[in-house]
Structure 1
Amino acid sequence: MLKAYWKCFLYINNHKLNVLIECWKEGLYIQGIFHDMSKFSPKEFHPYAKKFFSNTKLTEAEELEWKYAWLHHQHNNKHHWEYWVVNPHTKEAVPMPTKYLIEMVCDWRSFSRKWGKRFKELDLDLTDTIILHNETKEKLKHFIKKGNKHEAKTNGELN
């Protein structure tokens, strides 16, 4: 299990570094540094390590422990859209402050960076899978478009 903990620790730090790079570009220095710190808590770290890095099938109890860890993560990190959902059945959410919205996009971009893909607006599905307040959806669409245009211009793709 020690090997699983080490792999999990390295994975979290790699993810945090990738998010830090994306947050730095947006001027979110403090958020970039403290992003996903809850993943180091025993409530999240142990279940994540068992599920993703132990190479063993989880028992029913361990699977439930991981689900609680995931809920803990979503409900304790404001960059997750789930944090802002009031009622998932009616798809009601409160507006997400811009700094957390940008951190959320930086989180998404970090996964693209990890797997060597470019983040594109078309990669987002804002219909039924993500519950956002209408104001937040509009901010998100605007931010993504602005970011892609800037990235394309920087790479010489726009005149």
Structure 2
Amino acid sequence: MSKFSPHEFFPYARKFYSNQKDEDTELRWKNAWLHHQNHNKHHWEYWIVNKNTREALPMPKKYLIEMVCDWRAFSRKWGRKVKETNLPERMMTSESIILHPKTREELENFMKKKQQQ
């Protein structure tokens, strides 16, 4: 997990658990976040071939499920209690998220199955 690498851990800790709110702290955190997205297969950004043409590779189902779990976990951030969240649905339909058509279809089918349970 790259979150525990020095490249990511220290900028995250500095941004979220210190009183430092300067430009350097923010820039280091943004670099750490970019590193995290591009080094973890459960982030849709990992699979992008070309942002300009919105081309992405198909995401294996394992990472697609991890991505949904990550979205759900993010909705619980900072100890908020979550009953039902629509964050995965909002993320899935967002225009800013670039997914391969096959991945989007598989994600929609996965979300439908989860709603029926």
State TM-score, norm by structure 1: 0.65
Quick one: which of 108, 113, 116 aligns to 1:141? 108
Distance 2:11 2:89 in 1: 33
The answer on 1:86 being equivalent to 2:49 is yes
Structure 1 stretches of at least 4 aligned residues deviating more than 3 Å after TM superposition: 120-125
**CA offsets, 1:40-97, max 9 Å, x none?**
1100010001111112212x33322111111110011000000001111111101000
More off after superposition, 97-106 vs 112-121: 112-121
Taking a change above 3 Å as real, the CA distance of residues 148 and 75 of structure 1, as seen in their structure-2 partners, is same
When Rg is computed on C-alpha atoms for both structures, the one with the higher figure is 1
Distance 2:38 2:55 in 1: 16
| Corresponding residue for residue 52 of structure 1 | 16
**CA offsets, 1:128-153, max 9 Å, x none?**
11100000000000001101211xxx
Quick one: which of 68, 71, 82 aligns to 2:34? 71
* Residues 48 and 56, structure 2, Cα contact 8 Å, conserved in 1: yes
> Where in structure 1 are there 5+ consecutive unaligned residues?
1-36, 151-159
Q: Which amino acid aligns with 2:81?
A: G
Distance 1:138 1:57 in 2: 41
The CA RMSD measured in Å over matched residues stands at: 1.6
Distance 1:124 1:77 in 2: 18
* Residues 37 and 45, structure 2, Cα contact 8 Å, conserved in 1: yes
Quick one: which of 63, 73, 82 aligns to 1:110? 73
Offset at residue 111 of structure 1 (A): 2.5
| Corresponding residue for residue 27 of structure 1 | none
Distance 2:91 2:25 in 1: 31
Distance 1:70 1:98 in 2: 23
Q: Which amino acid aligns with 2:30?
A: K
Offset at residue 102 of structure 1 (A): 0.4
Offset at residue 38 of structure 1 (A): 1.1
The answer on 1:119 being equivalent to 2:85 is yes
* Residues 92 and 107, structure 2, Cα contact 8 Å, conserved in 1: no
